[in-house]
Structure 1
Amino acid sequence: MKTPKKKTAENFIKDIRRNTRRIFSSEQKIQIVMEALRAEMSVAELCRKYSINESQFYKWNKEFLEAGKKRLAGDVTREATSDEVSELKKENQSLKVMIADLVLRYDIVKKSLDMLD
């Protein structure tokens, strides 16, 4: 039988940090990277200001620059969000129904014209 693992103060603090981790929006990440590009303060100061790790900042910075490089190179493809995909699927289904209705109407008109001849 296993005995429950004792929580040390260090583990307790790590758990609190894990559970209260801040989630930054893409706009916030861009703002932080742009602030660093203005070079008004060092990266270390900026990271302290926003309570982020320097490695996290450099990851955001690299992603930001790579996205800009792709865009400038003409790579304008992007991944659609799930909302966009579901909206396109609904529109596609609606268009299919409209086409089916038009084909049926066409067949009816064609048959009625054939009967007149």
Structure 2
Amino acid sequence: MLEGLRGEENISELCRREGIAASMYYGWSKEFLEAGKRRLAGDTARAATSGEVKDLRRETVALKEAVADLTLENRLLKNSMNGLYR
């Protein structure tokens, strides 16, 4: 695609060589250019990679476990305090 955007090669020849339809090439180039415009305008949002998603899921599980542990400790401390003052 970059070769076509640079004008290094005729688009129809490039598509024939790569075995893709010209409509697919033009769709990709449009998406590429739109993403570039958004990035230059300050829109840095992007889709997370599968590795990032897996890492975030592991972190979420660890945080939920930490919250559960702290909640249990808190309940035990409250119960022990209530027992001392009765």
TM-score by length of 1: 0.54
- 2:18 matches 1:50: yes
After the TM superposition, which segments of 4 or more aligned residues of structure 1 sit over 4 Å from their partners? 81-87, 113-117
> Structure 1 unaligned runs (5+)?
1-32
Q: Percent identity?
A: 49
Deviations 1:64-113 (A, max 9, x none): 11111112112222234566546534432332222121122133234435
The aligned length equals 85
> Structure 2 unaligned runs (5+)?
none
Match in the other structure for 2:32: 64
Q: Quote how far apart the aligned CAs of 1:41 are.
A: 1.8
Check conservation: 2:5, 2:29, Cα contact below 8 A: no
Q: Assess, with a 3 A threshold, how the Cα gap between structure 1 residues 51 and 73 changes in structure 2: closer, same or farther.
A: same
CA RMSD of aligned residues (A): 2.7
Structure with higher Rg: it is 1
TM-score by length of 2: 0.68
Q: Assess, with a 3 A threshold, how the Cα gap between structure 1 residues 40 and 81 changes in structure 2: closer, same or farther.
A: closer
